[in-house]
A and B are shown apart, each in its own frame.
Chain A
Amino acid sequence: MIKCEKINLSFPKQFICKDLSFEVFAGESICFSGPSGKGKSSLLKVLMGFITPQSGNIQIDGLELNSDTIAAIRNKMIWLPQNSNLPVDSANELSDLLQMNAKQVERFQQFQDQLGVRECGDDKSFAEISGGQKQRIVLAACLSLDRSIILLDEPVSALDDYSIDLLFATLNSLPNKTIVSTSHNKKWIDYCNRTIEL
């Protein structure tokens, strides 16, 4: 479970939130929604310990987020960054970088199948495929790590309706995953259990 209490976050030229409190229960999916530049991605970065809010408490699976617990907390998470603009050339390189074991590599291929990008992952370098295909391969890699909390930053921004349906089917096949995402896509917002508007 994720529990955030009275989060205050702002940057020198940008206000994000004041006294924001919310809870995400195990197995639930929520979405931070709102226009671009409102700080949706920043809130995900707060949960990963990349940004420290001015004040507020964050608890993840009973661990208070601080420098002593951050490694354990991150090991419960996977994160799909926005655009997945990673300097990686292929699915193989990605699995090497994540130091996947044999079981994870097998799951990586299964998720690529489910997300409709197996051929791209097997045969093509990332320079030859679209942003949406690359994003789905990166997501497949993350999902293969089999962690309980899934953070998705604009997961459908580069996907067509058919690919979005494949993504829903894939996520539905994973029991008891807690999903925290950002999006302003209506279809994605409808898919999530709850929305927090920024």
Chain B
Amino acid sequence: MKEIVDIGIGSLALGFLLMIIPIAGFIYFKVKIVKETVIALIRMVIQLSLVAFYLEYIFAWNNAWVNVIWVCVMILVGAFTTIKRAGLTYRFFILPFAISGFISILILDAFFLGFVIHLDYVFDARYFIPISGMVLGNALNHNIVGISNYFGRLAKEQDLYYFLLVNGDSRKNSLAPFIRSAIKSGLNPLIATMSVIGLISLPGMMTGQILGGSSPMVAIKYQILIMLAIFVGCSINLMLSILLANRFAFDSFGRIKANLFKK
């Protein structure tokens, strides 16, 4: 196996020079996202550096409890981020979204790491953390889209919800069109990605493995598995998030609670 070529700090800094092009474009077109872009870049560097630092220790330690706590922290951050980006209030949604994240990761890690890859030690940091992270990262993006669609439409089209609540035959059915729309909007981008993967995009994990010296065949098998895990994880997470959030978002008369949304 070939050794991967390390990137020096100087080369890394050179990479940042490329950012001059989009930022110059933003300034030229007067798009007010320069500040946000710079802040996001700085955050990315700090967060990834910290992660690299932590992961060095976590991989060396490889303790099941530490690894599980690490993944739980990722789940919680994901839940907080979803709530914030969807414009919802923390007190109603943190519990359902955290539980959905936890259950989806539990099912996926148990299935893929335990039954499919047959790891002797399921909590092995080298597999458990990156695979959980990849699933959670993708689930986060698609959850934000799906959840924003769901509660956004419910807020905007409450007349339809209340109309169906009386004229339909159950609360479940009156929510059905909103749930269908949320699931479609959340998962459609992922279906589109899956259908063109390999044609117009080479996914990060596969590229990383090939750069790391794995054979393309091994990398592809891992990539197929991870895409399956991502799709299943996103689907479970989104559907569970909606179902569990419904228990907190409505009162006992089926009315949408007034303070679900941040002012």
Q: Which residues of A contact B (CB under 8 A)?
A: 48-50, 52, 67, 70-71, 74-75, 77-79, 81, 85-88, 97-99, 141-142, 145, 151
Contacts and interface: CB of A to CB of B under 8 A. Distances in A.
A97 to B, nearest CB: 6
Contacts of A79: 163, 166-167
Nearest to A147: B167
A185 to B, nearest CB: 22
21 contacts: A48-B162, A49-B253, A50-B162, A50-B253, A50-B255, A67-B253, A71-B170, A71-B171, A71-B254, A79-B163, A79-B167, A81-B163, A85-B159, A86-B159, A87-B160, A88-B160, A97-B160, A97-B164, A97-B168, A97-B177, A151-B166
B253 to A, nearest CB: 5
A182 to B, nearest CB: 15
B157 interface: yes
Given A52-B253, A97-B168, A142-B167, 11 more contacts: A49-B253, A49-B254, A49-B255, A67-B253, A70-B254, A75-B169, A79-B163, A79-B167, A81-B163, A98-B168, A99-B173
Given A97-B164, A99-B168, A99-B173, A81 B252 contact: no
Interface of B: 157, 159-160, 162-171, 173, 177, 251-255
A142 B163 CA distance: 10
Contacts of B163: 79, 81, 86
B241 to A, nearest CB: 23
Contacts of B165: 74
Nearest to A51: B255
The SS class assigned to the B binding surface is: helix
B169 A99 contact: yes
B162 A145 contact: no
Q: DSSP class of A's interface residues: helix, strand, loop or mixed?
A: loop
B166 to A, nearest CB: 4
A151 B162 CA distance: 13
A81 B253 contact: no
B159 to A, nearest CB: 6
B164 A98 contact: yes
Closest A-B pairs by Cβ, 6 of them: A67-B252, A79-B166, A49-B253, A87-B157, A74-B166, A86-B160
Contacts of B170: 71
A50 B21 CA distance: 55
A78 B254 contact: no
Given A87-B157, A97-B177, A145 B167 contact: yes
Nearest to A141: B167
A157 B165 CA distance: 24
Nearest to B255: A50
B164 A81 contact: no
Contacts of B255: 49-50
B171 A48 contact: no
A9 to B, nearest CB: 15
Contacts of A48: 162, 166
Contact of B253 (A70, A87, A88, A99): A70
Contacts of A88: 160
A66 to B, nearest CB: 9
B225 to A, nearest CB: 38
Contacts of A49: 253-255
A77 B164 CA distance: 11
B160 A77 contact: no
Nearest to B157: A87
A31 to B, nearest CB: 19
B261 to A, nearest CB: 19
Contacts of B252: 67, 70
Most buried by A among B167, B177, B251, B254: B167
Contacts of B168: 97-99
Nearest to B254: A70
A67 B255 CA distance: 11
Contacts of A70: 252-254
B213 to A, nearest CB: 55
A81 B159 contact: yes
Nearest to B162: A50
A78 B173 contact: no
Contacts of B169: 75, 99
